[in-house]
Amino acid sequence: MDKKNNSKKNDDKNVKKFYELEHKERLEFLKKEAHITDQDSKIFQDFPKNFKFNKVNNMIENAIGFIPIPLGIATNFVINGRKYLIPMAIEEPSVIAAASKAAKIASVKGGFLAEADNSIMIGQIQLISRDKSNDDKDKFFNKEERDRVKKIILNNKEKLLEIANSKSRSVHAIDLQVREISDESINKMGYMIIIELVIDTKDAMGANVINTMCELIAPELEKITKCTVILKILSNYSTKRMARCKAIFPKEMIGGSKGIERILYAFAFAYSDIYRAVTHNKGLMNGIDGVAMATGQDVRAIEAAAHAYASKDGKYRSLTKWYKSKEGDLVGEIEIPLAIGIVGGITSVHPYVKISLKILNIKKAKELALIMVAVGLAQNFAAIRALADEGIQKGHMRLHARNIAITAGATDEEQINIIASKLVEENNVTVNKAKEIIELINKNEISNK
């Protein structure tokens, strides 16, 4: 290496990596490199008493601060006969109000009836035939090899389960199954073998413990089969961990049989068309994700599983079903996989999450699943009812108009209300219009009362 390059390498050594910087240094770095101002950087120095920088920095890498998301409470929920106050963290207006209103209507007929499976998850280990040549073909199994390898694995099931369970006290692998998979479109040559650990994660979501178990048995699998392990990871398609809910919405509160008919058309649309179904499911996930965010769940895992489940019969469909009861009321049902936990992960370290769980006052992860699935159904009801009736913009617009009034500079509550009403009334919810109204108020041309 020439002298110049050598000295560059030494210089690089003296430059701290972002992760090595102290919090203040990270902010200084961003001021220099990413054009944030002193004022911007101050936002990231303001930590609540029990959620200081160190805590955030222990949760993720390269932390600089956190982004607050509004936290609210959905009311009126009666689930399996018990009343709940349900914390939801979400930035979208109308979601919490809509869920609460739907829950109130459902409560007339007893509220939500919900049930959830035990917390059974799957960890997958991918096995390919040991490399015999450079030819990819040899890395997949032929029929004879498949039978040999499967037999060895199943003969060693007890031992493998023992190894999987050797490091965990509360969570247990309860079964081990073997599948062979092949897909014409990706490999024309043959099969892989997938070993699946079936694990009861109890009150935890379980990702860490599942991945640990898969990694623990991988060396033994390679030893006994003389094959090669590639992936060792949980499956987020948590179909052994389903949650279901049903509720009845009385006809007289939702526009009678005409109202119900329109809602059923809305459902038929979502059931049969993917472009509508995705939006329909997005709406019900507003509710589920809101509770998931407030209670510290892995929202990405929940979303991935829900949308995969929506296509379980080969076509992406609505995750809810709606029909008319014999009495002429509207009945809604929902069924989704829900891998959630109330122990482990951030549930025991995140101060806000701990309070949300306290508000729910639940003892089991299963109970949280019941709550989430009920909120999902309520949210879906609220959305399709509004859409099948006057549309959602009117309700949305009121809250949106308040935000616009604040953006335009309104500070006092009364002024915000007046501006929001005028914006909606004139069907012109823009910052410019809001500024015009503020000017008129300041000139006393519109009363501030």
Task: Tell me how far, at minimum, the Cβ of 285 lies from ligand MEV, in Å.
Answer: 9
Cβ nearer to ligand MEV, comparing 95 with 339: 95
Neighbours of 43 (CB within 10 A): 14
Cα distance between residue 134 and residue 139, in whole Å? 9
> Catalytic: which of 104, 321, 324, 396?
396
Cβ nearer to ligand MEV, comparing 286 with 297: 286
CA nearest 83: which of 279, 371, 333? 371
Cβ nearer to ligand MEV, comparing 282 with 364: 282
Task: Tell me how far, at minimum, the Cβ of 174 lies from ligand MEV, in Å.
Answer: 38
Task: Tell me how far, at minimum, the Cβ of 289 lies from ligand MEV, in Å.
Answer: 10
Task: Tell me how far, at minimum, the Cβ of 423 lies from ligand MEV, in Å.
Answer: 20
Give the torsion through C-alpha atoms of 95, 98, 104, 107, to 10 deg: -70
Task: Tell me how far, at minimum, the Cβ of 382 lies from ligand MEV, in Å.
Answer: 8
| Catalytic residue flag (residue 298) | yes
Task: Tell me how far, at minimum, the Cβ of 306 lies from ligand MEV, in Å.
Answer: 14
**Is 370:245 a contact under the CB 8 Å cutoff?**
yes
Cβ nearer to ligand MEV, comparing 263 with 387: 387
> Catalytic: which of 9, 143, 282, 364?
282
> Catalytic: which of 22, 40, 91, 92?
92
Cβ nearer to ligand MEV, comparing 113 with 384: 384
CA nearest 128: which of 194, 217, 212? 194
| Catalytic residue flag (residue 92) | yes
Task: Tell me how far, at minimum, the Cβ of 249 lies from ligand MEV, in Å.
Answer: 16
Show the tokens assigned to 387: 């859409």
Cβ nearer to ligand MEV, comparing 22 with 92: 92
| 3 state SS for the chain | CCHHHHHHHHHHHHCCCHHHCCHHHHHHHHHHHCCCCHHHHHHCCCCCCCCCHHHHHHHCCCCCCCCCCCEEEEEEEEECCEEEEEEEECCCCCHHHHHHHHHHHHHCCCCEEEEECCCEEEEEEEEECCCCCCCHHHHCECHHHHHHHHHHHHHCHHHHHHHHHHHCCCCEEEEEEEEEECCCCCCCCCEEEEEEEEEECCCECCHHHHHHHHHHHHHHHHHHHCCEEEEEEEECCCCCCEEEEEEEECHHHCCHHHHHHHHHHHHHHHHHCHHHHHHHHHHHHHHHHHHHHHCCCCHHHHHHHHHHHHCCCCCCCCCEEEEECCCCCEEEEEEEECCCCCECHHHHCCHHHHHHHHHHCCCCHHHHHHHHHHHHHHHHHHHHHHHHCCCCHHHHHHHHHHHHHHHCCCCCHHHHHHHHHHHHHCCCCCHHHHHHHHHHHHCCCCCCC
Closest-CB residue for ligand MEV? 283
Cβ nearer to ligand MEV, comparing 122 with 388: 388
Task: Tell me how far, at minimum, the Cβ of 272 lies from ligand MEV, in Å.
Answer: 15
- The site for ligand MEV (CB under 6 A) is made up of 92, 279-280, 282-283, 286, 383-384, 387, 392
| Catalytic residue flag (residue 282) | yes
Cα distance between residue 119 and residue 116, in whole Å? 9
Cβ nearer to ligand MEV, comparing 91 with 147: 91
| Catalytic residue flag (residue 350) | no
Catalytic positions are 92, 282, 298, 396
